[in-house]
Structure 1
């Protein structure tokens, strides 16, 4: 049986790339959620006017990789103390957010935020928001890093995040 977590922490290309290297992760979908515009496009989300976050829906097998590892990796690959931004990516679409599907996920997400607060200096600004409709991002965003490994943003931003997860979670690498 698999579990899916919908989480946002900056550009979805980075989250997607980092999660795809973990054993037990069976699917990663780059998507938009948390907004009010039906079926938004990337261009619309980039304006910040739709309310959506760039997110990923990470599906994993908890018998292979514990849910705590999925969430601790999330807090390793992005800075949850930056409000509505990750580095040079600025706007509510880049917010740090978790979207629980049910009350049990809400509790697991809250526990992960508390754990992250123990190792991140400053205040964790990650929000826990209701899971609304999830809109898949355009096809060219899916597995973007693998398709564009020499693209400038991937080299400058995604690679360091992927490397942080690789270093911290070697036991779970594919």
Structure 2
């Protein structure tokens, strides 16, 4: 929820660290590396948005990207997302680089600009979820995952909120 409302992967680092260690059972030694590192380079939501937005704008302008164009979009979206800072709406700025590589007019960004705040909230939620998932996978592979905490639906529930039992 915090990631969704702030639209910033970097702003959510303390909340993500708390969630990953207390609710998911990842040892702090792993989480303190994977979460900040993931907030910096693991921008899955940004890469997905850039690919979808590029194809959308190509269709709007009736531009056929072709196979090489799609491969370029994939490569540039991944590279642009890795180099993107974890601050709100910066993925939109990096989108201009992707557009330039496939020959789309930069003005197409204006069509996305109106809904970018909503897209940014979803992108950030995807990015932070990916960071948490990678932390669990790394902790499991390194033997640093407390599986009893991971499997406990009440783990880290400091508010006493009732959860459904299956």
State the TM-score bracket (shorter-chain normalisation).
under 0.3
| Structure whose CA Rg is larger | 2
TM-score, with normalisation over the residues of structure 2?
0.25
Q: Which has the higher strand share?
A: 1
